[in-house]
């Protein structure tokens, strides 16, 4: 039986690139969707927040010197594109997903309304939260923490290329050790970059645990929701 009933999965836009320089790698997004389906088939309610770095990377050169707020709004639109691609892939894999945007683009996706999002989750649909928080200067990490708290998620899962939080960069230090679990205060004291500071503080204040794991390990998501020793758990 799954250890968690409702989770918030935070995906980076870069995770969708595969080996490409930018954009969306079809094989990569299909594999991720199938990982999500493994847990939804077990009755786990899943919401997703996705970044836009893979799309925004393609226009990064033209954004140099741009006003920060304008650049952030462009990034929000990139997350909408990723969210639509993710939801469409889920549809093709036999799942039902709903994209809800923090900024109004009603011809494309429906606006974020908390009671509606909760209804979709209870109906077994995957809810994809697009456009971050709808405000510039806030990252999609913060959006994940915020939406996770709003929907009553039991766990925020930060899916990365690394299978947890380490004492040092494992790519540079072969002796780096992975933490199985660590408290928020310990992570701050050791200056471990789990999420951005605003998101991290919000999760700590709401007593919302964070699990950092590798989305590229087959079956890792399922092991996480079963409560197995996968990745690193950050808790109060």
What share of the chain has pLDDT > 70, as a percent? 97
Residue positions in the annotated binding site? 10-13, 52-53, 57, 72, 133-140, 160, 166, 169
Contact 100, 72 (CB under 8 A): no
Residue positions in the annotated binding site for ATP? 10-13, 53, 57, 160, 166, 169
- Is this model's pTM higher than 0.85 or not? yes
Domain membership of residue 1 (yes or no) is: no
Range of the domain at 184: 6-235
Q: How far apart are alpha carbons 88 and 16 in whole angstroms?
A: 14
Give the CATH number, domain containing residue 170: 3.40.1160.10
Contacts of 90 (CB under 8 A, 6+ apart): 33, 36, 37, 96, 97, 126
pLDDT per position as a tens digit, 210-223:
999 999 999 999 99
Domain count, the chain: 1
List the structure tokens of 65.
């010197």
pLDDT per position as a tens digit, 161-212:
889 999 988 888 989 999 999 999 999 999 898 899 999 999 999 999 999 9
Residue positions in the annotated binding site for UMP? 52, 72, 133-140
pLDDT per position as a tens digit, 9-57:
999 999 999 888 888 999 999 999 999 999 999 999 999 999 998 887 6
């Amino acid at each position: 039986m799954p250890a968690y009933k409702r989770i918030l999965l935070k995906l980076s836009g870069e995770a969708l690139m595969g080996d490409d320089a930018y954009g969306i790698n079809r094989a990569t997004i299909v594999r991720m969707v199938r990982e999500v389906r493994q847990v939804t088939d077990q009755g786990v309610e899943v919401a997703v927040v996705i970044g836009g770095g893979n799309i925004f990377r393609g226009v990064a050169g033209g954004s140099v010197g741009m006003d920060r707020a304008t650049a952030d709004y462009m990034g929000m639109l990139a997350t909408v594109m990723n969210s639509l691609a993710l939801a469409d892939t889920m549809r093709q894999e036999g799942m039902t997903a709903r994209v809800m945007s923090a900024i109004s683009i009603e011809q494309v996706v429906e606006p974020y309304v908390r009671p509606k999002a909760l209804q979709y989750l209870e109906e077994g649909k995957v809810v994809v939260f697009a456009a971050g928080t709808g405000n510039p200067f806030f990252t999609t990490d913060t959006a994940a923490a915020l939406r996770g708290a709003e929907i009553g998620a039991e766990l925020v899962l930060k899916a990365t290329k690394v299978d947890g939080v380490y004492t040092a960069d494992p790519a540079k230090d072969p002796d780096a050790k992975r933490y199985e679990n660590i408290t928020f205060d310990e992570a701050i004291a050791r200056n471990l970059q789990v999420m951005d500071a605003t998101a991290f503080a919000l999760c700590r204040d709401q007593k919302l645990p964070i699990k950092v794991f590798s989305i590229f390990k087959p079956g890792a998501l399922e092991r996480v929701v079963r409560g197995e020793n996968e990745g690193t758990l950050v808790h109060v």
